[in-house]
Amino acid sequence: MIETQIITERYENQEMQRYQIAKGFDWSNISFQIPPFSREAYEEFVRMYEAFIIPKHRSWYGALVIFHLPKDITVPFKAQTDIGTLFDPQLILASELERQYKAGLIKKDNNTIVISDKALNEFVSYLIKEGHLTILCGDKDCISILPVSDTFGYLSQTKPTPKLSVNSHFFTMDIFDHDSPYDTFGVSYGLALKNGSLTQPPLFYREALLVDKSGKSYVRKISVTELSVKINGTTFKDGENSAFYQRPVDRVTPKTSGTDIVIIGNKVIAYHKGGETIIPSSGFVIQTNENIPFVEAEVIYGGLEDYIFGIQVGSAVVKDFNKICELSSPFYDIEVDPISYPPTLYPLDYDNARAPRMAIGATNDDKPILIWAEGCSKLRYDIGNESAGTSLLELADFGYRQGLKHLVNLDGGGSAEMFIDAKAMMHVSDRHPDNSDSERPVPMGLIIRV
């Protein structure tokens, strides 16, 4: 039976903070969940850019071409492109838009764009009319293409309704997360493991919370280079019959006479002959000289069969009963790192940057626990009457005071949300003008059925 409680803490400066704790279930009860895609989720993504992201830094953005193609619309362009053979219709259209923009056939004109090519202009006009493509403009004189993925929806709309659901992984959200032509927006990344099977590989050498078959939990750094990857019957291993390339070590693969296999999650999204492939921010590339067919394929990962659960998102804040007082996993720092990797706009001030938080951990007897730290509204902050949000250090302190063995930070900010029977007991930080909650669409969550 799930046990949940809300703990309220008050500070000397009159600020307050609420935490919701959920426990009383087993690791076997937890599953990863991709919420159903909805038109409303796409519209909310557009609204976030229009209402919050662009107005905050208008000089950062030019014309943003945001779109999502429903499955019943056929893309009238070839899958064989300059960046390889593509399988995602969102990427095929994005590739054509990018190609024509670079050729000078698409230009920004005040608050819209002008497309010279008749066929592309007619298709884009149709998508705008049907509500599948939106053009938003900042002040910069450039054009950016923002394809939105199919894995983007509202967690509260999961059917059948789970007893409990929370958001989990970081996902490509900011325009600076889109540093490769193979990236789409609303794609989660980082290890997602259930009963030895992976739907997402580990990336960026960050810490993961792992639970073995005996129920013992661990926190350790893990990399996709440790795994085997099986595609269409061929098993690839880094340093043997192939080389694995990922950020932040590399941005572009080396030139080769072989083939680059571009992978995001558990799918091959592109094949590119000759190398010099820009590595996706949310995935990795296998370079091989093996003779492989260029067909759409799922990926099977091997090497973690001894674990029943694994998740990799943010940094550990409690590890082996010790409070962690600084970031212990790598995060992109624009002033230091030459190669970007997401989340590219993550606040790095461990001690002071307050935000809503979501975290998963293990109790002193290795049972799972979820913690939601509420945050204030993005529109206004009513001191003393709503939560201030927590820094990672404050989250670490709270987890340590609860006597936890491990606690790992998940995606937070406006994404932080916990639902009991599809209803939230606290407030999310994304709000409408009347201060009512605005659930943020996410591509991945954790659900519990008991």
Q: Which residue has the tokens 């002193």?
A: 364
Q: Is 148 exposed, middle or buried (0-12, 13-18, 19+ CB in 10 A)?
A: buried
**Angle made by CA atoms 383, 384, 387, in degrees to the nearest 5:** 80
pTM, entire model: 0.95
Q: What are phi and psi of 57, to 5 degrees?
A: -145, 70
pLDDT in tens, 78-98: 999 999 999 999 999 999 999
Contact between 349 and 361 (Cβ < 8 Å): no
If we measure between CA atoms, which residue out of 265, 284, 287, 267 comes closest to residue 276?
A: 287
pLDDT per residue of the chain (450 residues) written in tens, 0 to 9: 899 999 999 998 999 999 999 999 999 999 999 998 999 999 999 998 998 899 999 999 999 999 999 999 999 999 999 999 999 999 999 999 999 999 999 999 988 999 999 999 999 999 999 999 999 999 999 999 999 999 889 999 999 999 999 999 999 999 999 999 999 999 999 999 999 999 999 999 999 999 999 999 999 999 999 999 999 999 999 999 999 999 999 999 999 999 999 999 999 999 999 999 999 999 999 999 988 889 999 999 999 999 999 999 999 999 999 999 999 999 999 999 999 999 999 999 999 999 999 999 999 999 999 999 999 887 788 888 899 999 999 999 999 999 999 999 999 998 999 999 999 999 888 887 888 888 899 999 999 998
Predicted pLDDT of residue 438: 82
Residues in the chain: 450
| Domain positions in the chain | 3-37+152-219+305-448, 39-147, 228-302
Helix axes 89-102, 118-129, angle to 10 degrees: 130
Structure token digits, residue 377: 């509204």
Cis bond before residue 248 (omega within 30° of 0): yes
Predicted pLDDT of residue 434: 83
Residue 12: partners with Cβ closer than 8 Å, 6 or more residues away: none
Beta strands in 57-162 (DSSP E): 63-67, 80-81, 84-86, 106-109, 112-115, 133-137, 143-147
Q: How far apart are CA 126 and CA 107, in angstroms?
A: 19
If we measure between CA atoms, which residue out of 100, 167, 140 comes closest to residue 409?
A: 167
